[in-house]
Amino acid sequence: MAVPRPADALSDKELVLRILEGHQEDFRVLLGCYRNLVYGQAIRWLGDADEAENQTQEVFLSAYQNLDRLRDPEAFGAWLSTITRNKCMNLIRTIKIKQVSLEALAEMGIQPPAPEPVEDPTEDQLRLMHRCIARLPREHREIIELHYTREISYDAMASYLGISMSAVKLRLYHARQKMIKLLKREGVL
């Protein structure tokens, strides 16, 4: 969603057309209207404020450089959201590629610290967790059960629920976030 503008302000389409005609200063208006939207999307994807800020700049640079490829100037906001998602996903893929396995670290003579032992939850904690799960919205409760109780793969969940793999991951992420909030309120975390 773009920032509301005064009634006499130019539309996205008008601004894009003016920029393509050579009025580059109008790009600052679009930047002002969409900066928070792009940054908000980037922070949700990346979870890191500095990286989100970097990606926000990358998105606007890419948008400016490729503005002539925009087929429908009225769809500038949607196009910018797509660029944001693609930039963030590319960064996430790059980070995953750079990750090194524990075996590779051991071969290099680097011994990672041993993980802290995790205590099994008490009966009271389990009851509280189940109560928190029951308070989740149906779609979040369902995805938590499929993933943690039945240990179903993302592919199988996507097929079972009739949604895309990315929708499964997003739904599971939101379910976890809600679950964490509930568990904190109950004093489990």
Residues 47 and 82 in one domain: yes
Q: Is 173 within a domain? A: yes
| CA-only gyration radius of the chain, Å | 22
- Beta-sheet strands, E only, within 46-88: none
Q: Is 75 within a domain? A: yes
Res 159 pLDDT > 90: no
CA 151 to chain centre: 23
Q: Is 176 within a domain? A: yes
Mean pLDDT over the full length of the chain: 82
Between 96 and 166, the higher pLDDT residue: 166
As a whole number of angstroms, the distance between CA 50 and CA 40 comes to 12
Query: CATH number for the domain including 153?
Result: 1.10.10.10
User: What pLDDT shows up at residue 1?
Assistant: 43
- What φ, ψ does residue 109 adopt, rounded to 5°? 85, 15
Range of the domain at 78: 12-98
Query: CATH number for the domain including 63?
Result: 1.10.1740.10
Residues 91 and 139 in one domain: no
Residues 140 and 80 in one domain: no
Res 7 pLDDT > 60: no
What's the pTM value of the predicted model, to 2 decimals?
A: 0.50
- pLDDT per residue as tens digits for the range 106-144: 676 766 666 666 567 678 777 888 888 888 898 898 888
